[in-house]
Structure 1
Amino acid sequence: MKRSFSASVTKEDGIYVAQCLEVDIASQGSSPEESLANLQEALALYFEDPRPTITPDIKKIEVEIGAA
């Protein structure tokens, strides 16, 4: 699924910064095109479905609670 976003590109100290206007995501590059390409990648990663990097070993335990 594709979705459109608006972005602004500014030059700061010789580096181009691309900022998404709808989502608080930014990226940078040595040219306006590179900063926008990096922003596209950052947005794709931001909206990617989460995946566990380590599958937890879940166990059930019983604990007696209350006065004996």
Structure 2
Amino acid sequence: MAHNRRLYTDQDFQEAMEKQTPIRVFQNDHMIGSGAVITRFDDVTVVLQAGVSEVAYHSRTACEFYEMKRR
């Protein structure tokens, strides 16, 4: 069964990026992205890529990021 793990710290984002786990992104309690992987991040922005030409830039402060894991 799948469950969500919220990404808070740089270490959380680094682990998700290395594992290439799918990420869900929420903003204002609405899901705005799902299934993309983290390609890079910094203190302000998280860059997600879902396909060859599907790149999205999200604010770290305005959005919530969740890693999908399998139990």
TM over 0.5: no
Relative to the length of structure 2, the TM-score reads: 0.27
Greater strand share, structure number: 2
Would you tell me which structure has more helix in proportion to its own residues? 1
Structure with max Cα Rg: 1
Greater relative CO (CA pairs within 8 A, separation 6+): 2
